[in-house]
Chains A and B, each alone.
Chain A
Amino acid sequence: MSGPSSGCGFLMSVVVHGDLALNEQEKELNQRLKRLYPAVNEQETPLPRSWSPKDKFSYIGLSQNNLRVHYKGHGKTPKDAASVRATHPIPAACGVYYFEVKIISKGRDGYMGIGLSAQGVNMNRLPGWDKHSYGYHGDDGHSFCSSGTGQPYGPTFTTGDVIGCCVNLINNTCFYTKNGHSLGIAFTDLPPNLYPTVGLQTPGEVVDANFGQHPFVFDIEDYMREWRTKIQAQIDRFPIGEREGEWQAMIQKMVASYLVHHSYCATAEAFAKSTDQAVHEELASIKNRQKIQKLVLSGRMGEAIETTQQLYPSLLERNQDLLFMLKVRQFIEMVNGTDSEVRCLGGRSPKSQDCYPGSPRLFNSPVHKASSSQTYQTGTAEVEMELDHFSNGVSESSSNGFLNGSSTHGIDLEECDGDMGEIIIWRQLCGGSQAAIERMIQFGRELQSMSEHLRRERGKNSANKKMLKDAFSLLAYSDPWSSPVGYQLDSIQREPVCSTLNSAILETHNLPKQPPLALSVGQAAQCLSLMARTGSGSCAFASVDDYLH
């Protein structure tokens, strides 16, 4: 859920050029990099996109958006060699990284080196000559592995050739390509955080880099496919030895606890029965939680708070921050027009009171769980799961109000998730009712005083403060839905509230506040980002999402 964004900031910064062709190129670059290196978090580890105007020797000239490199020294002796590094080191999360260099002109002698070097390696040299520096040289076709003497490696290269350099961050090797043909491994045991580097040594030498601006000559994606398959086979074949039985039992337990945690009671019951497990929570309790969650997810916060207070009397009293959060959410739902309090005022279904949790009887009968039985007559587990799991379950509930109230002002939250611009015409504050607006404002004042009360009692809480400020900001706009803070009205924002409340309830029962399954998924994701940080390239081909779908 990282949002629609990571490349965006960069995109905006280059739009300034106003050059349409360049803009297209940047777009293509971003698309290609995203496709090649989906596991890279560019906020943390940006990808190389051009040569660095700061990290080069003075004999190097850059042009064409810092992609073209030319030599401008005397080129008399090896002492006149000069190199340039890319703007960023290669992130380990690439798994496999690749760039190409086209020789535009071999100049006088064609003493060109293409390769990799670490930050800080002397730039008055060709790549490969020093420690933590690696290069493939055009004049003799030799590879230089941190040494002044080369090893026979490949063919020579000259004007018109396209040389590619591929770093495999899984086994820490590097191979080159010439005009689309792999030349075989050149280096092994490479250190982490190397920068793409080129070096030139005689006048007239000019090379162009392709960091993904254009399609590559070599089919790097095919190579990546091979490694993805390898890594995935490694995961699939991970040896579990004699413990197969244990694994199965453990997985069953995880699934069961997940179902219980999210209160899919019928499914949990059926699963526990078929796998012969005990459920560690009473069914009634699960159903209570389910009820509350459903209320939160359908935006009926007032009812949710009240139900919670009834069923778990001391919970919110002891946990004032949680209560505060719930109330802020309630305020937002009021603005949205979905909270029960404003809905009653808005001339909508008084029947929504039907599902107001007055009697415990309701919780024992699945038929009554929803305000209308027409959508889930049987209360089968499958239907419930869908409702609970996806926010579009919310639309079911809200459409009840819609139907009953037969109001054209009904809010279809599902559509709200999508394009906001189109449905703006009928979206109104608090459902459009004046009484509801007044109630909302009054509620806001109560919230304000609660906030002050909390601050007096327990000191400053910046999270609470921000929460309230963001919620109140909604009122600053004539159309809160399309305002910068409008995201709060999105039904998806109910989910964290819902899960926080659910976790708090579970904790009072001495049950884990997070299901082990979610914990392990989270841990796996965390583990992958840790691998990325510590330089284990295989994280690139082991996305948790691949295994969740």
Chain B
Amino acid sequence: MMACLLEAPLRISVLSEVTATSRHYVDRLFDPDPQNVLQGVIDMKNAVIGNNRQKANLIVLGAVPRLLYLLQQSSSSLELRTECAVVLGSLAMGTENNIKSLVDCHIIPALLQGLLCSDLIFIEACLRCLRTVFISPVTPVQLLYTDPTVIPHLMSLLSRSQHTQEYITQIFAHCCKTPEHQTVLFNHGAIQNIAPLLISPSFKVRMQALKCFSVLAYENAQVSMTLVNVLVDGEQLSQVFVRMMQRDKPIEMQLTAAKCLTYMCRAGAIRTDDNCIVLKTLPCLVRMCSKERLLEERVEGAETLAYLMEPDIELQRIASVTDHLVSMLADYFKYPSSVSAITDIKRLDHDLKHAHELRQAAFKLYASLGSNDEDIRKKITETENMMDRIVSGLSESSIKVRLAAVRCLHSLSRSVQQLRTSFHDHAVWKPLMKLLQNAPDEVLVMASSTLCNLLLEFSPSKEPILESGVIELLCSLTQSDSPALRVNGIWALMNMAFQADQKVKVEIVRALGTEQLFRLLSDPDTNVLMKTLGLLRNLLSTRPHIDQVMSSHGKQIMQAVTLILEGEHSIEVKEQTLCILANIADGNTAKELIMTNDDMLQKIKYYMGHSNVKLQLAATFCISNLIWNEEDGSQERQDKLRDMGFVDILHKLTQASDPNLCDRAKTAMQHTPWWIEALMLWTPFGES
């Protein structure tokens, strides 16, 4: 009631404009004679039907609290209470503002309380009004779950009549928005209670029950696993859904049934090669994308299909040849069409409203279609104006379209062929770079991930991107709070540093700064750490570069390497670190940083005897570089290493069962003639 009282000043100001008749209706609600009150409510009911102005007037005049009072009063006759619920339901049918006012007056708890009454007609009137309130986007769905007794009570009312079934399932279908909601409904027996309604004689009940299942099953393995075992009148639920997808059923029903099966499949409850998916759900969703369907249906169809086949290459292949899907999607970009602009304004308005949705849905579906198969990617890029559409999609005002466009581009960028051809021809890097300047994180993640691919060594776009000053941008990404962005930033830098010019490497190190580099080396995200090590490794390749980098940052790098080798890290991380060490060992001056560090040599020795072959191999590689005999000072290094016992280890490794390791050890030995001598002397002893 509070909220309504607060509106008092407003009420006074508007009062003067409100017609006297409206006030008369409200006044009659306060009549001392209950019979007059009832007649007043009935008259009010007839006055508001289809009259939004009248509805607003009555709300402003404070009819709602009075109606709610009458509805809740146990002294009111059942007839009066029912009529009150009907009028409130009618008021709710008006504008969103009406709904807001009703919700502010606490209509929801009042009506929910009303459901405890035993009279079916009254219950149905309350449910009908609740339904109208709950399906409005302005009503917080949480209000359904505030009182924990409400859901079980609604479940129990499902058996009362077709009307209660229709309203309650419609409320559930609209108010199940989170995994928590799904769990609450599931725990109160939603599946057992609603499943029989799928074969109700009433179409509306069947439809709402079906919608319930689609929202319940979405990304919910528990619900989905339960659903596959449910029988309706002796028939498996999945078969009931399949029947609902028959081509003579209403489109809404086909589409929703396809969603149910899609969600069950994605949740792992149905295999992707099950006939009900391959031969029924997928073709049904492709049909939903056809030109004959309404724009809304085409959007939903494409999005659901994209979701269904995202993880499965076989489904992607089938979809790519079904009903010319790839070219059918090209039509999604033709709204508003030139025809719609000419023929009528209404149509133009409708088309404009859906144009963004259509484009983003098409991009999503293309992204899903092309995520694995090279032939499909080719087919997509060869679709009329496809690359141009992606390029313009990247700079659209709608964030949803931009995100979907970049997802699509990302999917296609997995193709070496496309990177070399269409990506370069259409200079996709330009809008991509622009997108990276200022975008929300989810767009940035996709865009930077795409950029990683564009920066691959064989990509012709790599050069122009470098020239566009991308390094600063990528470095800033590595400072992001989002691990995904940090990974992509450093990954892109890693790709960029691969076989790069000295100039580029210097620029990367300068822009990133050693401080940031070392912060990344202690990043909690293993992926970030791995890519940072990768970057280091790429920076430390070819001798002059190694010496150059090590001369300026040698101390810090050696420290970081020590830290990682001593820390608790995965084999992959340690292997990568040892590879860096091996690269350092390849430098002319840089190798002294190792040779003078006995602690580091001990570590290398330790890893040569490690139980993991990969680590042994990397460590051996490092030693092999240190004893390389064509360089100055090799003799001294060899002496020192022999004194430290590396000969024995190398000799043992020449007997290793792993052929790579064995070869590596033998090659190392060949660079030290005297070691071989020693070995020859040593062997007989060993054998005797």
Contacts and interface: CB of A to CB of B under 8 A. Distances in A.
Contacts of B283: 181-182
A229 interface: yes
B650 to A, nearest CB: 56
Contact of A184 (B247, B318, B323): B323
B322 A182 contact: yes
A276 interface: no
A226 B321 contact: no
Contact of B322 (A183, A185, A226): A183
B324 A225 contact: no
Contacts, number: 33
B321 A181 contact: yes
B246 interface: yes
Given A154-B321, A155-B321, A181-B318, A226 B248 contact: yes
Given A222-B246, A222-B247, A226-B247, A180 B323 contact: no
A225 B247 contact: yes
A178 interface: yes
B114 to A, nearest CB: 41
A225 B279 contact: no
Interface string A194-232: 000000000000000000000000010011011011000
Residues of B contacting A: mostly: helix
Contacts of B328: 184
A248 to B, nearest CB: 28
A225 B245 CA distance: 12
Contact of B324 (A184, A222, A229): A184
A225 B322 contact: no
A398 B246 CA distance: 50
Interface in A157-190: 178, 180-185
Contacts of A182: 283, 322-323
Contacts of B322: 181-184
Residues of A contacting B: mostly: mixed
Contacts of A228: 248
Contacts of A183: 321-324
Nearest to A175: B323
A229 B251 CA distance: 12
B321 A225 contact: no
A26 B323 CA distance: 33
Contacts of A185: 324
A228 B248 CA distance: 8
B305 to A, nearest CB: 14
A157 to B, nearest CB: 11
A180 B248 CA distance: 19
B321 A223 contact: no
Contacts of A154: 321
A155 B247 CA distance: 25
Nearest to A178: B321
Nearest to A226: B247
Contacts of B248: 225-226, 228-229
Contacts of A180: 279
Contacts of A181: 279, 283, 318, 321-322
A182 B323 CA distance: 6
Contacts of B246: 222, 225
A102 B97 CA distance: 63
Contacts of B279: 180-181, 219
A396 B408 CA distance: 77
Contacts of B323: 182-184
Contacts of A222: 246-247
B86 to A, nearest CB: 33
A183 B328 CA distance: 12
Contacts of A229: 247-248
18 contacts: A155-B321, A181-B279, A181-B283, A182-B283, A182-B322, A182-B323, A183-B322, A183-B323, A184-B322, A184-B323, A184-B324, A219-B279, A223-B247, A225-B246, A226-B247, A226-B248, A229-B247, A229-B248
Interface of B: 246-248, 279, 283, 318, 321-324, 328
Interface of A: 154-155, 178, 180-185, 219, 222-223, 225-226, 228-229
The 6 closest A-B pairs by CB, nearest first: A226-B247, A184-B324, A225-B248, A184-B323, A229-B248, A155-B321
Given A184-B328, A185-B324, A225-B246, 9 more contacts: A181-B321, A181-B322, A182-B322, A184-B323, A184-B324, A222-B246, A223-B247, A225-B247, A226-B248
